[in-house]
């Protein structure tokens, strides 16, 4: 199976299955002498772990991470870093009815056809459980970026047709604090309450709903990204579209920009009070010609409704015969609140990789 690695200089390879003994990640290319805050890494994983509230899946996993290599006396050594996260609450019996039938909109059919074998217990390698490994690696990437003053923050900006207004970011930590005050992780309190009530009603119907995560990268220097195939927004798009259930990515003005005229859309350059060149507007989303321009990098990621619903659905079995399937066990009515740290993690992995392409591989002393 190909496609288990991501990045060039800051490169990760994830391993493990949803219902195996553990999942994990190997990080190669992290600079030496980076202080490793294990409490911070664990806190990032805690934001993604299941069982957090009534509007997420009730699978119980502590997602306790262990670092098995690449760190000595609290600092990275420059060698490959291995992180391991044991699985604790698999409940494989919840998937026994899926052995010979294909769940609608899951990877069951494509996986079985491609490989000739599949782990029906939660989807195996195609399960969103794999993203915990990404969050662990992304937390380390965020620590690297923080050492350079680069911050990444995201929140749930829409659920279904409920959209939050644009929220001003005065500081990264203040934005995160506001977001974490509610279980849906929306930085606008009034919208958050509406979202929570809606998701709960969807849950009671045995159904699911999608939404969007808005992400902001602050204090990004000018010059990250390449002008042809390795454009910064292209790598961000690939990173986001690799996340389970993601069906859309847009940066800056996104699709709305196609409805504007050039005279409206152009970001006019000015010289700021600090002497830096900035733009009055940010329709470019902080990236021009595939290269960061020093403005905040802004993008949105759209998540589809979770495919597993607690309702009967028509399907076929592995022989193509008509069958019926119903959801069983734990129900996740909306993945978007738990997707926030995943979006931040994947953005961090992209930024760390591009930052290393423009810096030495050892942090400044």
Asked if residue 202 belongs to a known ligand binding site, the reply is no
Separation between Cα atoms, residue 256 and residue 343, nearest integer Å = 22
Rounded distance between C-alpha atoms, residue 108 and residue 308, angstroms? 12
On whether 66 is known to bind a ligand per the annotation, the reply is: no
Using alpha carbons only, what angle is made at residue 199 by residues 56 and 61, rounded to the nearest 5 degrees? 0
Q: Is 294 annotated as a binding residue?
A: no
Whose CA is closest to 243, among 203, 286, 212?
A: 212
114 is in an annotated binding site: no
**Which helix or strand (DSSP H or E) is residue 279 part of?**
strand 277-279
Is 219 annotated to bind a ligand? Reply is: no
Rounded-to-integer distance, Cα 365 and Cα 299, Å: 33
Biggest CA–CA distance in the chain, Å, is: 69
Known binding residue 305? Answer is: yes
DSSP 8-state assignment for residue 267 = -
| DSSP run (H or E) holding 301 | strand 297-303
Residue 75 annotated as part of some ligand binding site: no
Q: Which two tokens stand for residue 357?
A: 């392409």
Q: Does the annotation flag 71 for ligand binding? A: no
242 is in an annotated binding site: no
Residue 286 marked as a ligand binder:
no
The answer on whether 300 is annotated among ligand-binding residues is no
- Please, what is the Cα angle at 276 between 254 and 217, to 5 degrees? 40
* Residue 244 assigned to a binding site: yes
Binding-site residue ranges for NADP(+)? 48, 54
Binding-site residue ranges for FMN? 125-127, 244-245, 289, 304-308, 330
Binding-site residue ranges? 48, 54, 125-127, 244-245, 289, 304-308, 330
């Amino acid at each position: 199976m190909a496609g288990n690695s991501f990045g060039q200089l800051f490169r990760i390879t994830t391993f493990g299955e949803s219902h195996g003994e553990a999942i994990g990640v190997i990080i190669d290319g992290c600079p030496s002498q980076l202080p490793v805050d294990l409490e911070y890494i664990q806190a990032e994983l805690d934001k993604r772990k299941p069982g957090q509230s009534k509007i997420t899946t009730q699978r119980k996993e502590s997602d306790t991470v262990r670092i098995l290599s690449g760190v000595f006396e609290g600092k990275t050594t420059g060698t490959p870093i291995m992180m391991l996260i044991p699985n604790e609450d698999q409940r494989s019996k919840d998937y026994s009815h899926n052995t010979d039938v294909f769940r609608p909109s899951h990877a069951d059919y494509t996986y079985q056809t491609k490989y000739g074998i599949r782990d029906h217990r939660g989807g195996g390698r195609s399960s969103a459980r794999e993203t915990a490994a990404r969050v662990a690696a992304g937390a380390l990437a965020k620590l690297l970026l923080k050492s350079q003053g680069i911050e990444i923050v995201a929140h749930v900006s829409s659920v279904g047709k409920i959209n939050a207004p644009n929220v001003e970011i005065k500081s990264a930590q203040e934005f995160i604090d506001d977001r974490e005050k509610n279980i849906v992780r929306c930085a606008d309190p009034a919208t958050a309450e509406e979202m929570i009530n809606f998701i709960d009603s969807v849950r009671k119907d045995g159904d699911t709903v999608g939404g969007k995560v808005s992400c902001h990268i602050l204090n990004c220097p000018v010059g990250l990204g390449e002008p042809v195939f390795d454009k910064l927004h292209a790598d961000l798009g690939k990173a986001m579209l690799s996340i389970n259930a993601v069906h859309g990515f847009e940066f800056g003005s996104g699709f709305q920009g196609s409805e504007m005229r050039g005279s409206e859309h152009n970001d006019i350059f000015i010289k700021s009070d600090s002497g830096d060149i900035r733009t009055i507007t940010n329709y470019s989303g902080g990236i021009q010609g595939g290269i960061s321009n020093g403005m905040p990098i802004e993008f949105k990621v759209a998540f589809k409704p979770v495919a597993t619903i607690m309702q009967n659905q028509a399907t076929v079995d592995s022989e193509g015969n008509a069958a019926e399937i119903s959801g069983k066990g734990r129900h996740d009515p909306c993945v978007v609140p738990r997707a926030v740290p995943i979006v931040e993690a994947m953005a961090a992995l992209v930024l760390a990789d591009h930052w290393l392409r423009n810096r030495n591989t050892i942090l400044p002393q």
